[in-house]
Amino acid sequence: MEGTESPPVPGSAPQPAPVTPPAPWDLDDPALYLNRELSWLEFNQRVLVEASDPRNLLLERVKFLAITASNLDEFFAKRVGWLKRMLATDARTRTVDGLTIAEQYDLVIDRCHRMRARAEEVWRTELLPELAAHGIQIVRFDDLEEPARQRLREYFERSIFPVLTPLVVDPAHPFPFISGGSLSLALNVRHPSTGQDRFARVKIPPNRPRFVDAGNLRFVLLEDLIAAHFDMLFPGMEVTEWQELRVLRSAETGAPGEEADDLLELIESALRRRRLAEAVSIEITGELPPARMELLLEELQVSERDVYRSAGPLGLHDLFQIASLDLAPLRDAPFTPAVPTAFAGTGDAPEFFATIRERDLLVHHPYESFDQTVVRFVEEASEDPAVLAIKATMYRTSPDSPILEALIDAAGRGKQVAVLVELTARFDEANNILWARKLEAAGVHVAYGQPDLKIHSKICLVVREEANGVTMYAHIGTGNYNSRTARVYTDLGLFTADPGICGDILRIFNLLTGYGEQFRTDVVLAAPSNLRSAVTERIRREIAHARAGRPARVIFKMNALEDFECTRLLYEASQAGVQVDLVIRGICRLRPGLPGLSDSVRVVSIIGRFLEHARIYYFHNDGEPEFFIGSADLMKRNLDERIEVLAPVRSPEHRAQLLDLLELQLNDARQGWRLHDDTWHRDPAVDAPGSQAILLQRAPFS
């Protein structure tokens, strides 16, 4: 009968039970995709672990704790703010990982609370005692000897008291506005004769050092110093209790559907609204009386779920002040970025540009000097009489940018200068607005990105009159034109006079300053035009090689793998036998190591002294490898909603350098975390130099 097993033949060997082949993976299954928000929090957890790692010097550990706190504040402003906005519109919306917005919000808040608690524990139980063991003490004002207290009293009266503004809440004084990220003291002030209580708030001035120097490497928290002088703020009154209080507000600035004839005015309006943006979190030390807490929740329009109760102190990002103490044995040794040989050997502008014309130059920051390469490129162009025009993008830059000063100087010398300013670069809007006005006043042609299409590419083009006609020179970078962050972010930059690359960059600039529906590039990969399709095509080419039995491999180094379609395609590649190696600093949706799905995937995250920021895309291409560098991560926003550029790296020498860098980081056992399924691991016993330490020893890169 059908479905009936045949009886065993007498004397024969037992027959193995039939093996059911594993069911094929459904690549649309949400369980295969890690949640974006939780993946980002895992990155911050890796940073927090550095604060506890005894292999790091003490003040470096303090710095990692400050970075953790700063990152978490930014996460609340950006991502929790976005989640709360989505909660108000449709809490049941599901993202590609299958979680609803409401489910994500609950998971995120729980994870953030645990991370905050762990950060405070690291500070109290690990770093504070170790600092004290090295003579660095955080002390109470009342525990100081009288001469030290007197010095601090004088400092308070001279430099702190005039800045403070005590605000009481009563029928004549409405509840005070509490700005996002600021630290406040919430007090109960009692009238001694009537016994009447009032709620009061004192804002801790952010422009004063949080850790007040009491001499001999002793520091008093500013809030403790203020509390010791409440009698000056509330004369004749009694302060019966006080707590620290912080409010974090959303960074969402736009009003849905808002349009304006002037984008600059629109962003300025949005910045004014950000100050009044909805609260997303309350942090408080101790317990407020129920009536006071109810008042806070009502005035800030948040729920009890948004409250984090802390043992204090709040605002651990202020530990940057302690981390910056000039105590050489407790900090990483300072280093001077190397000047690449090709740049060190050039003299005046003609020789400088001739060097780039002869061959492409590749630089690696901060191991190699940003100022002596990228800044010099713009400064030489500004001063060179043969240069006719300079075009550049500006996404994030420093308030004292030497590059923008050089562009202003170039305009003053009669050169055609165009700068594409991205006004909507989050948290840099105000700085970019100031620079945009300054550039316009100097005669620079300034254009802005569209609200729904940010200019995220890092490109600069120099047009020069030469003996054989006009020649163009380009710089394509992975990081911002920012001299400050270039000292702590790892980034790559390509200098080239390649006509194909420069022609593509020129077309991109013309589209951004002019008018057109789309642009064409022949050599560079550009979003939102052809970047997604080009990457997809190349991954599929590796899949075809693997299925034909040929070696196939991709190596991607980036900040984030968030895009669903790219993640799905990398699963397909692994299933086909492609070796998929990913060096990802932060968000990763893919789950490596799943049998039959992602066996051939490696994911490594490098956490160390410098913030990994470079993007490199490598395709094996059957022994004819392709390398690209640029500004784009594999995120939907980078592929579809931003102006991005990836430039090919063609020099065999540069390709070898990039492959060596990638292999070095993939095999980093000291700084490299490895993702297996949904869990990150690193061996805490490894004491060999990490990839960043090795690169410091090797500099210069080229």
pLDDT band for position 676 (cuts 50, 70, 90): very high
- Determine the pLDDT at residue 701: 64
Between 255 and 158, the higher pLDDT residue: 158
- Determine the pLDDT at residue 203: 95
Domain boundaries, the chain: 30-130, 152-318, 341-519, 526-698
The residues that bridge with 362 in the sheet, in sequence order, are 494
Pull the structure tokens for residue 364: 């690696």
526-698 fold: Endonuclease; Chain A (3.30.870)
- Determine the pLDDT at residue 10: 43
Model confidence at 554: pLDDT above 50? yes
Cα separation, 691 vs 593, in Å, equals 24
Model confidence at 22: pLDDT above 60? no
Cα separation, 172 vs 269, in Å, equals 30
Cα separation, 437 vs 668, in Å, equals 45
Which of 645, 349, 636 lies closest to 475, judged by CA?
Answer: 645
Q: Are 577 and 600 in contact (CB under 8 A)?
A: yes
Burial class (CB in 10 A: 0-12, 13-18, 19+), 475: buried
Q: What is the mean pLDDT of residues 92-100?
A: 94
pLDDT band for position 89 (cuts 50, 70, 90): confident
Q: What is the mean pLDDT of residues 165-171?
A: 85
Contacts of 117 (CB under 8 A, 6+ apart): 310
**Quick check: helix, strand or coil at residue 72?**
helix
Q: Are 473 and 499 in contact (CB under 8 A)?
A: no
Burial class (CB in 10 A: 0-12, 13-18, 19+), 318: buried
- Determine the pLDDT at residue 520: 84
pLDDT band for position 4 (cuts 50, 70, 90): very low
Q: Are 390 and 460 in contact (CB under 8 A)?
A: yes
What value does the mean pLDDT of the chain take? 91
Burial class (CB in 10 A: 0-12, 13-18, 19+), 257: exposed
Model confidence at 262: pLDDT above 70? no
- Determine the pLDDT at residue 15: 52
- What is the percentage of the chain residues whose pLDDT exceeds 70? 91
Q: pLDDT tens-digit profile of 633-667?
A: 999 999 999 999 999 999 999 999 999 999 999 99
Cα separation, 457 vs 448, in Å, equals 13
- Determine the pLDDT at residue 519: 73
- Determine the pLDDT at residue 433: 79
Same fold, 30-130 and 152-318: no
**Quick check: helix, strand or coil at residue 208?**
coil
Q: pLDDT tens-digit profile of 498-550?
A: 999 999 999 999 988 876 666 789 999 999 999 999 999 999 999 999 999 99
Q: What is the mean pLDDT of residues 202-215?
A: 96
Model confidence at 19: pLDDT above 80? no
Q: Are 352 and 339 in contact (CB under 8 A)?
A: no
The residues that bridge with 391 in the sheet, in sequence order, are 418, 461
- Determine the pLDDT at residue 315: 96
- Determine the pLDDT at residue 269: 53
Contacts of 619 (CB under 8 A, 6+ apart): 538, 539, 541, 542, 553, 554, 625, 626
| Domain spanning 30-130, CATH class | mainly alpha
Q: Are 376 and 348 in contact (CB under 8 A)?
A: no
Burial class (CB in 10 A: 0-12, 13-18, 19+), 453: middle
Between 154 and 286, the higher pLDDT residue: 154
Residue type, 278: E
- Determine the pLDDT at residue 518: 66
Q: pLDDT tens-digit profile of 347-400?
A: 788 899 999 999 999 999 999 999 999 999 999 999 999 999 999 998 888 888
CB atoms within 10 A of CB 668: 25
Model confidence at 259: pLDDT above 50? no
The CATH number of the domain covering residues in 341-519: 3.30.870.10
**Quick check: helix, strand or coil at residue 594?**
coil
Q: What is the mean pLDDT of residues 442-451?
A: 83
Cα separation, 188 vs 197, in Å, equals 6
Indicate whether this model's pTM tops 0.85: yes
Pull the structure tokens for residue 48: 């927090």
- Determine the pLDDT at residue 175: 82
Model confidence at 468: pLDDT above 70? yes
Which of 403, 453, 398, 402 lies closest to 424, judged by CA?
Answer: 453
Lowest mean pLDDT among 284-288, 313-317, 469-473, 511-515: 511-515
- Determine the pLDDT at residue 447: 86
- Determine the pLDDT at residue 276: 62
Specify the CATH architecture of the domain 152-318: 2-Layer Sandwich (3.30)
Between 682 and 288, the higher pLDDT residue: 682
**Quick check: helix, strand or coil at residue 404?**
helix
Could you give the residue numbers annotated as active site?
Answer: 456
Cα separation, 473 vs 362, in Å, equals 14
Pull the structure tokens for residue 289: 């009386």
Residue type, 397: T
Q: pLDDT tens-digit profile of 562-574?
A: 999 999 999 999 9
137-138, strands of its sheet edge to edge: 137-138, 218-221, 211-215
